[in-house]
Each structure stands twice: as structure tokens, then as C-alpha cells.
Structure 1
Amino acid sequence: MPNRHAAPKAVTCFHKKDTGHRETNFGGLIYSTNAVFLSRSCFTSQVKLNCWKCKKLLDRTPSFFCDSCKSIQPPEEGTSYFKIMDCDYTFTLDTQKLQTRYLQLQRTLHPDNFGQKSVKEQEFSESQSALVSKAYKTLLKPLSRGLYMLKLEGMHLKESTDSVAESQFLLELMEVNEALDEAQTPEEVNKIAQDTKGMLNQRKMKQILAPKD
């Protein structure tokens, strides 16, 4: 949108327990790992934006309203659901906090509040409200949350892998990732690595022994 961008985008990468990249395929399910499931997360710093109406710089990210003229703003492209819902980037997030944030946002962003505003503001309200609802529904349930986190990490599923078994496998991988983040000693990391190696080997054997169509 015109006058929205005031500075070039910069990318900063943060590495978690970086021990070597690997790509694995289990029954059509492709995921990338560092060691076991040590993902390499890249977070893109947000572009500095200006209010579409008064042109003042927006201080917050994401900015739902301009601090200067109080006008509702359009959704910011590429903002993660975790940022929108003000949640920590973790699989075991606080769902009560998530629900509270959802209700707060919808009270201010809902289209019913903009019936007397301009057409543009009504459109922005509808877009923001729909985005908040989508973010809330995605992060609320463990499965959709895990799939979304994998998507953010650059891991993609083929269309043929949307079975219950594959979904359970994804959740197991997310739990491994959380356990590694919480590990305090090398011994704990090694224990998690050994357990996960056994899980992956067991799954690989099931894939080999599974009857072919």
C-alpha cells in the first residue's frame, strides 16, 4: 500500500542448538532438522510503517490503531499469529491468555464498531477481525498450532500426509522441540536425543513393514 513502507526490511536469524542440518522423508512427510528436531528459526524484523491516514510512524508491531489519529490500520503482511495474539512462540502456550487477548481484540476491531466510519476503515476492520479469528483458532488447538509452527520453520507436508498418524507424529516432534528448549544439561539433551532416535527408528521400521498398495 502507498506510504506504508518507510524503511527497508532487515532479516535477523537466531539459531537454536545448531548442530548440523538434515532433511528426512518418512512416508512422504518431509521435515528439516538440526540433529534431532533442532530447528533453525529465522525471524524477520518488521518494516517500519506509517499510518495510512495521518502518515505518522507506527510505534507498535503489529499496530491495530494509530497512536496519533486513532484510525484503525490494515493488517501487516507477514506478521505471525503469535505476535498478533501476543503469545510466546512456544508449543505449550497459555491458552487462557490467548482467549483473553482474542476477546480484547475483537471488542475493539469488530466491524460493528465501524458502521459510521469510512468505507476504508470498515474494510480494515473486517480484515483485522477475520485475521484475529483465524489466528485464535489456529493457535488454540495443539494440532493446528503445531502444524502452523512447522510451517513457520519452513517444513511442508504433502497433500497425501494428512492422516491421523502423521498428525500425531508432528505433535511428537513439537514435544521433542519443547523438551530440548527446556533441557538444562548436556546429559538431558543426550537423553532426549536417544529417545527421539528410537522413536524415529521405530517409525521407519513401520514404514518399511507397512503393506504396499
Structure 2
Amino acid sequence: MTTLYRLRFLSTSFGFNHAHKCISAGQRLNIVLQSCFAPERATSSYSKDVNHWNAVKGHLNLKSFSTVTLNRLCWNCGSSAALFFCSSCNAIQPADDTTNYFDILNSEQTFSLDTQKLQKRYLELQRSLHPDNFGQKSLKEQEYSEEQSALVNKAYRTLQKPLSRAVYMLELQGVLLEEGTDATADPAFLLEVMEINESLAETRSQDEVHAIGRSVREKLKGLIEQMNSSLNKGDLLTAKGLLAQMKYFTNIEEKVKDRITQAS
């Protein structure tokens, strides 16, 4: 059993299909740093204004929070339009999927963001943008509502978890993620991961499964702290290596959750 597991582990890799998708088996992570990239990838091209919204019959509105103002005009009245609603006629605006996810959720662009504040902002937006609020509106407004709601969901899913948040932040800095062989992985680290996977696969003890889970969470906690430090310093090469390790341990953490769920 052990020999077969080792062979299977050595012939299998883990990676990303896309920065915003779930981690899956059968892939490797290969991060390619681009020597030159457009400055606009790492900087915002829009400003933030404070808009005060009043309740409008038919749907809820947000009150007193910063929203991103784009250089565009409202499709309905021609006034300057904010990210979600027109400040003049309050018509919902079409979604702009090039907008920075941190700006969408009014969050500081930092790895150590406040996830509770992020969730609060997400819920406020969804209460205002949800398609159910636009059932009596025009087809165009219903379509825009669906687009905006989907974009907010995507932004929240990406920034909510440390792993996908790190991937996204590296992308903003011009680091592209491509599938490929992780030839630079530390052999000692790969051996450690293999042994943890092996123990998890072979154990029949739920106490041991929980113990493995606690150990992996502690390792992830340390990696997250290091990732925050590396991103704050702009050390993308170190962040690249940390991301690979986070990916492996996150994969194990998901396996532990599956084992616990199956046993309950």
C-alpha cells in the first residue's frame, strides 16, 4: 500500500487551472515572472468617491460607503456614473469585469485584509444588486443586475480565502500562472507533503485525521504570515515559493475536511 501510494504521489502533481478556481489534483504550479508588463495592471485608473444613497422603491440601496467612480456616463441619464449605480438617477450600471476586486469590495489592497469587513461589504452589495430587486425593472436593468451580482460574487470568492487572494495579488503585479512541471520544488518539502498524504490515506483513526488537520492548519498559518510579509515587501520570488507550499497544504486540508465529513 505504502509503495503504491508513493509511486502515485510522485507521478501526480497539484496546481491551478485558473487563479479564481478551486485547487485540484493532477496539475503543477508554474509561475512565470514577466520582466515587463503594462503599468496599468498594477495600478488603479479610477478614483473613489463617497456616495450617499436613498432608498428607492423596488430594491434596497447602499448608504454612506465608498464606491469606485469610472470614467463613463450613465446609460440612462448621461450623468457621471459610479461603479454600481448612477449618482443622479440611481439606475444600475453595467458591470465592468476589469475593475480591481479590492475596489469592488471597497477593501484595502493588502493580503492581510479584514475578512469580516469584506463579508459585510459583500452582503450589503448583494442586498442592493440581487436580481430579485429588479423584477419590475426593464430587461436592461435586470441584465445589469445579474452581471453586477455575479461579478461581486466572483470578487468575494477570490478575496475571501488566502490562497486565491495571494494568486490574485500576484496577478495584479504581473505574475502569470501557467500549468507546468514544478521542477524547482524543494525535494525535502515534497517528501514532507508525501508523508502527510500517505499518513492521511492509510489512517483509520479519526483522532489522527483531526491531528493531521491541526498540524496542516498551523503550517498554513505560518505560510500566510510569511506571504503577507513578502507581498508587503514586493518580494514576488519569495511569494512564488510560498504560494506553491500553500497550494499543497491547502490541498491536504481539503482532504482532511472530506475525511471528517465522510465519517460524520
Q: 1:41 to 1:132 in 2, by over 3 A?
A: closer
1:119 equivalent in alignment to 2:147: no
Deviation at 1:41, TM superposition (A): 7.2
CA distance in 1, matches of 2:43, 2:109: 11
CA distance in 2, matches of 1:143, 1:28: 15
AA aligned opposite 2:31 = L
- TM-score, reference length from structure 1: 0.60
Contact 2:80–2:87 (Cα < 8 Å) also in 1: no
Answer 1 or 2: which has greater helix percent: 2
AA aligned opposite 1:175 = N
- TM-score, reference length from structure 2: 0.49
Contact 1:29–1:161 (Cα < 8 Å) also in 2: no
Give the structure 1 partner of residue 233 of structure 2.
180
Give the structure 1 partner of residue 86 of structure 2.
66
Q: 2:75 aligns with which of 52, 60, 66?
A: 52
Cα-Cα RMSD: 3.6
Give the structure 2 partner of residue 19 of structure 1.
none
Deviation at 1:44, TM superposition (A): 3.8
Deviations along 1:54-109, one digit per CA (max 9) or x if unpaired, are 01112x4xx21111111100112421100000000000000000000000000000
Q: 1:160 aligns with which of 177, 180, 195?
A: 180
Deviation at 1:48, TM superposition (A): 1.3
Q: 1:161 to 1:113 in 2, by over 3 A?
A: farther
- The count of aligned residue pairs is 150
Of all paired residues, the percent bearing the same amino acid is: 51
Contact 1:138–1:144 (Cα < 8 Å) also in 2: yes
AA aligned opposite 1:30 = V
Deviation at 1:173, TM superposition (A): 6.9
Q: 1:91 to 1:48 in 2, by over 3 A?
A: same
Gaps of 5+ in 2: 1-28, 47-69, 191-219, 246-264
Contact 1:65–1:71 (Cα < 8 Å) also in 2: yes
CA distance in 1, matches of 2:123, 2:181: 34
CA distance in 2, matches of 1:83, 1:123: 22
CA distance in 2, matches of 1:150, 1:136: 17
